[in-house]
Amino acid sequence: MSADAQILIVVGVYMALLLALGALAGRRTRSPVEFFLAGRSLGAWVTGVSSTASSESGWVVLGAVGMAYTQGVGALWFAPGCLMGYWVNLYFLAPRLRRLAADSGALTLPDCLVALFGDRGHLLRASSSLVVLVCLAGYLAAQMTATGKAMQAVVGLEYQHGIWLGGAIIVLYTLVGGFRAVSWTDLLQGLIMVFALVLMPLLALAAAGGYGPVLDGLAEVDPALVSVTAGKGGFALFGFLIGLVGIGLGYPGQPHVITRYMAAASEEKIRQTQLIGMVWGVLVFYGAGLLGLAGRLAMPGLDDPEQLFPLLARQLLPPLLAGLMLAAVLSAIMSTVSSQLLVAASTVSRDLLEGVFRVARSGRASVLAGRLSVLGLGIAAMLVASGDVRAVFWFVLFAWSGLGAAFGPVLLLGLFTRRLERVGAAAGIATGFGVTVVWKLTGLSDTVIYELVPAFLLAGLVALGVSAVRLRGSRPRA
Amino acid sequence: MTGGASIWTHLFLLGVPAAILVTVVLHFVLRGRRRVG
């Protein structure tokens, strides 16, 4: 049997497994709390691995690897930055968010904001839903594009067919099994990712002569490649470090990540999740970085360094294992798409239709509206991706920062202080999103500093300031 | 040690992830013991 046929078989089995998990989860999905939050029954492994897998898209197996390949050791500053985000999420946000969601019956991020601050006139629910939808819509379309490209590279399908086949599988298991299917498939995908990002850097290091020779070889190519500061100094170094470490500020505000904590079965599960999530993060981030460093010597002169992972897998591994590695690329993308698809659908059905417009409020109608939203949003994202609508991809540029700056500060301040109230929280959300867009549009992200840092800080300050003015003379929120 | 890279590079590449792993494992084990105790 040819190598390509063996790779196809592995990827086919992987796809079939995803659909089987979706069908299995669907048998237990009847009520809204089942469809949107898996009945708050997730164990530690599912919560830990699925939340981290959904936060890392194709960026970690393609983008981060390519960054280390191009920029050298200094690029790995993204790893402590992202792990800082994991630490805040897992050790601080997750336990309190889970408790709040369980006590208030919240199923979505806007539900949690309403539970924290109250919501006269739907100000908070409507504004937060709008930000979630705008950011996730672009994100989804871009991830569908990535799905098409990955299917093209891995299975050899035409780009358009890749989008529709990969997208249809994601939509199908999300629609049938809801949050439980998304979480179970994310667990499988997260385990494949971590296996791949431990195995591949070890193989690449071995192919390039080992850890010491890799660093020596990189230093010979360019001494800046083995410099912790990437050979930079002064303001350029400051901007470089903030740009990489600052990525971590985005984690507490990503709705498709933090809803996973709301679905954990107990606080004890969250405590186990902390260990699992952090170990997963260390292995995946440093694995991606080391792969990029070793790959620079194992496969020098690549036109597109982001293709290092799939190219090296095909070169170093027997077909069946190479197939599994390529399934890891698909896993990284698909785990993020399905999570974002479900959160976007829950925003349409639960927050807007039920919460704001007061329709589809019975249990069965709510689940049906959720499923139809998954279908509608999924098809829309596939249409946009296959039509290559450029305008939508503009949104992706600020989706991570926009969500992170809009919701991160407000959620953390709301969960850990009593100094925030409804209008202040809405002002913080608007500021975080608005500053991100303006910063990006005016080019300040490239010339001054990564947009998430000022947007995050300003959102927190505005939320606190507006709340202080409105709470003056009255007692803080109980 | 390799000739091309400084001690800071080795600390950054190997020391930081090792320290994070040791910290989270110790935190988990010690808290488990405290809870049992």
ipTM summary value: 0.91
CATH 3.40.50.300 fits A3-388, yes or no: no
Region for A360 from its dihedrals, namely left if φ exceeds 0, alpha if ψ lies in -120 to 50, beta otherwise: left
Region for A231 from its dihedrals, namely left if φ exceeds 0, alpha if ψ lies in -120 to 50, beta otherwise: left
- With contacts defined as CB-CB under 8 Å, which chain A residues touch B13? 73, 76, 286, 289-290
- With contacts defined as CB-CB under 8 Å, which chain B residues touch A211? 2
Average pLDDT over residues A124-141: 92
| Tokens encoding A126 | 């409507």
Give, in degrees to the nearest 5, the angle at Cα A99 between A93 and A104.
120
pLDDT score of A467: 96
Backbone angles phi, psi at A19, to 5 degrees: -65, -40
- With contacts defined as CB-CB under 8 Å, which chain A residues touch B1? 212
The whole-chain average pLDDT of chain B stands at: 86
The pLDDT tens digits of the residues spanning A417-452 come to 999 999 999 999 999 999 999 999 998 988 889 999
pLDDT score of A217: 95
Q: Do residue B20 and residue A83 have CB atoms under 8 angstroms apart?
A: yes
Region for A117 from its dihedrals, namely left if φ exceeds 0, alpha if ψ lies in -120 to 50, beta otherwise: alpha
The whole-angstrom distance between A165's CA and the closest CA on chain B is 38
The pLDDT tens digits of the residues spanning A190-232 come to 999 999 999 999 999 999 999 999 999 999 999 999 999 998 8
Give CA–CA dist A331/A278, Å, rounded. Answer: 19
- With contacts defined as CB-CB under 8 Å, which chain A residues touch B26? none
B25, B32 contact by CB (below 8 A): no
SS3 category, A264: strand
Q: Is the pLDDT of residue A399 over 70?
A: yes
Please, which pLDDT band fits residue A398 given cuts at 50, 70 and 90?
A: confident
The whole-chain average pLDDT of chain A stands at: 91
Average pLDDT over residues A101-109: 95
Residue A476 is classified by DSSP as P
Q: Is the pLDDT of residue A2 over 90?
A: no
Q: How far is CA A394 from each of CA A97, A135, A437, rounded to the nearest angstrom?
A: 31, 10, 10
If you count them, how many residues does chain A have?
Answer: 478
SS3 category, A41: coil
If one counts the domains in chain B, the total is 1
**Closest listed residue to residue A406, CA positions, set A140, A124, A142:** A124
Task: Give the CA count within 13 Å in the CB-facing half-sphere of A404.
Answer: 26
Residue to substitute from B9, B16, B26, interface A, most A β-carbons within 10 A: B9
pLDDT score of A141: 87
The pLDDT tens digits of the residues spanning A144-197 come to 888 888 888 777 788 899 899 999 999 999 999 999 999 999 999 999 999 999
In terms of CA atoms, which chain A residue is nearest residue B31?
A271
Give CA–CA dist A344/A255, Å, rounded. Answer: 9
Q: Can you give the pTM of this predicted structure?
A: 0.92
In terms of CA atoms, which chain B residue is nearest residue A227?
B9
If you count them, how many residues does chain B have?
Answer: 37
pLDDT score of A157: 83
Q: Is the pLDDT of residue B32 over 80?
A: no
Q: Do residue B20 and residue A220 have CB atoms under 8 angstroms apart?
A: no
SS3 category, A156: coil
The amino acid occupying position A84 is M
Give CA–CA dist A395/A169, Å, rounded. Answer: 25
pLDDT score of A277: 97
The amino acid occupying position A30 is R
Q: How many CB atoms lie within 10 A of CB A380?
A: 16
Query: Exposed/middle/buried for B7, CB within 10 Å: 0-12, 13-18, 19+?
Result: exposed
Average pLDDT over residues B24-32: 91
A43, A265 contact by CB (below 8 A): yes
The whole-angstrom distance between A73's CA and the closest CA on chain B is 7
Query: In this complex, which of B3, B9, B28 lies closest to A228 when CB atoms are compared?
Result: B9
What are the domain boundaries of chain A? 3-388
Q: Do residue A274 and residue B17 have CB atoms under 8 angstroms apart?
A: no
Indicate the Cα dihedral angle A92, A93, A94, A95, nearest 10°.
60
**Closest listed residue to residue A52, CA positions, set A234, A248, A268, A230:** A248
pLDDT score of A139: 86
Q: At CB < 8 Å, which residues of chain B contact A?
A: 1-6, 8-9, 12-13, 16-17, 20-21, 24-25, 27-28, 31
Average pLDDT over residues A94-103: 96
